[in-house]
Amino acid sequence: MNVWSNSAPMRSTRSLALTAVAIALLCTNGPANATGNVAHGQALYKGCADCHSINENGVGPMHKGVVGRKAGSVAGYDYSPDLKNSGIVWTEENLDKWLTGPQAMVPETKMFFDVPDAQDRADIIAYLKEKAR
């Protein structure tokens, strides 16, 4: 009986499994792995401008200083009670979750628009980080 004949397939299987895991990790499309494009985010933000602006409240609250701000804290904007009391801070991760599905994050929020594409969300967040400071 040859001891080495059984170990080669095991090494191949192990290598294949590790390679598959590495590829899966590299292909993950979540917020931690998405790098935002500010210029594309600015173009996408035009769709947000139906309700929001950087400097003034409108149908939605202004976005000046949104990254790092506590949700429901812009003076002069009438937030839903659930969002105002949510305790959410607008980190990049929370903004990504919010843009994925605001109603899933805070069911009684006024916000109804979502951005299904992870790269588009990353681009909008990059734009807000740079232009809405």
pLDDT tens-digit series, residues 87-111: 999 999 999 999 999 999 999 999 9
The CATH number of whichever domain residue 50 belongs to comes to 1.10.760.10
How big is the CA angle at 26 (ends 66 and 89), to the nearest 5 degrees?
Answer: 20
Query: Which one has a higher pLDDT value, 30 or 38?
Result: 38
DSSP conformation class of 130: H
- Domains of the chain: total: 1
Instruction: With cut-offs at 50, 70 and 90, classify the pLDDT of residue 6.
Output: low
Alpha-carbon distance of 103 to 74, in angstroms, equals 20
For 75-89, the pLDDT digits (tens) are 999 999 999 999 999
Residue 11 lies in a domain: no
DSSP conformation class of 60: S
Residue 10 lies in a domain: no
Is the pLDDT confidence value at 28 over 90? no
Contact indicator for 96, 31 with CB cutoff of 8 Å: yes
How many helices (H) and strands (E) the chain has is answered by 6, 0
Residue 3 lies in a domain: no
- Structural tokens at position 59: 């149908």
3-state secondary structure at position 16: helix
Q: Which domain holds residue 81?
A: 36-131
